[in-house]
Amino acid sequence: MVKTQAKSVKQLNSRTMSVLVDTHCHLDFERFNEDRELVVERAVTAGVRRIIVPAIDLDNCQKVLSLANKFDPIYAAIGIHPNSSADWRDEWVDRLRLMVDHPKVVAIGEIGLDYYRDWSPQSTQKMAFSAQVSLAGELGLPIIVHNRLADADILQILERAKKEWSELKGVLHSFSSPWKTAVSAVEMGFYIGFTGPLTYKNAGELREVAAKIRLDRVLIETDSPFLAPQQFRGKRNEPAFVIRVAEKLAEIRSMTVDEIARQTTANAERLFGEGLRSL
């Protein structure tokens, strides 16, 4: 597996001299246990200078923080994923609050709603999401939002939160919703994150969103180990492959890869703050 993956990375033939940020990657997952250090090295070689790793549950938060301690390019987000929220307790917010003092925590996430999986009641998901959005608003941190088949409720919760926390910001990660959802999110000051599916042959509607949305609100990400770009479908995704998302975005918008890299990196720095600005 490791040799096959390394061979795939060599095929990248990156054309950009600018630095890239993978704003969403689960490098703590078991699928990276065999070669995690090499994966980070390959990412850096491919121009990826910062990798944001979001947590999905309380135990996972500690793993993510450990990775941030170990690897200079890695930054952390802490939060409870909607699929991990079935046993939600309000005191979990206090436990999350204790972790944000870590110097490499740049966001609250991965949080949101998932109406595709049936792993947590929708009412519980909304409670957990709202509580963590409020925590982010209180702390002045951005949020990383998971949204699967829950557009209306996601937007409603964010709209309500913006009335209380006017400076609240974040990203709808791995965006797969219609144009009107993207417009509503951007109008509230949120960013749109594009992943490997942007390169898929049947992703015409998603490419239309990517072509029209404000470029200063666009981020690129891998969501590794999932959603590998078209060239690597069926293989494990990894941060080095974020260049393929940048290339497709450049093609869609008739820009150079360097222009896309510079803009999306600037966007990531603006959203996630000072921690990423030592690129």
pLDDT of 278 over the 90 cut: no
Cis ω for the linkage preceding 205 (within 30 of 0)? no
pLDDT tens-digit map of 164-182? 999 999 999 999 999 999 9
Measure the CA–CA gap between 249 and 151, rounded to whole angstroms. Answer: 23
With beta carbons less than 8 A apart as the criterion, state whether 196 and 222 touch. yes
Q: Where do runs of H (alpha helix) occur along 71-121?
A: 91-99
Q: What is the mean pLDDT of residues 239-268?
A: 97
- CATH no., domain 17-273: 3.20.20.140
pLDDT of 93 over the 60 cut: yes
In the chain, the percentage of residues whose pLDDT exceeds 70 is: 92
pLDDT of 14 over the 80 cut: no
Measure the CA–CA gap between 192 and 213, rounded to whole angstroms. Answer: 9
Amino acid sitting at position 30: E
Tell me, rounded to whole angstroms, the distance of Cα 4 from its chain centroid: 26
Sign for the pseudo-dihedral over CA of 105, 106, 108, 112? negative
Measure the CA–CA gap between 108 and 136, rounded to whole angstroms. Answer: 6
Q: What is this structure's pTM? A: 0.94
Domain boundaries, the chain: 17-273
- So what's the pLDDT on residue 126? 98
pLDDT of 218 over the 80 cut: yes
- So what's the pLDDT on residue 18? 77
Nearest CA to 218 out of 184, 195, 241 is that of 195
Nearest CA to 15 out of 243, 248, 271 is that of 243
Q: What is the mean pLDDT of residues 2-13?
A: 54
Q: What is the mean pLDDT of residues 245-251?
A: 98
pLDDT of 162 over the 90 cut: yes
pLDDT tens-digit map of 113-137? 999 998 999 999 999 999 999 999 9
Nearest CA to 155 out of 176, 134, 180 is that of 180
- So what's the pLDDT on residue 10? 53
Sign for the pseudo-dihedral over CA of 122, 123, 127, 133? positive
With beta carbons less than 8 A apart as the criterion, state whether 52 and 77 touch. yes
Average pLDDT of the chain to the nearest whole number: 93
Tell me, rounded to whole angstroms, the distance of Cα 206 from its chain centroid: 17
Instruction: HSE, CB side, 13 Å, CA atoms: give it for residue 230.
Output: 11
Q: What is the mean pLDDT of residues 96-117?
A: 96
- So what's the pLDDT on residue 58? 95
Q: What is the mean pLDDT of residues 54-61?
A: 96
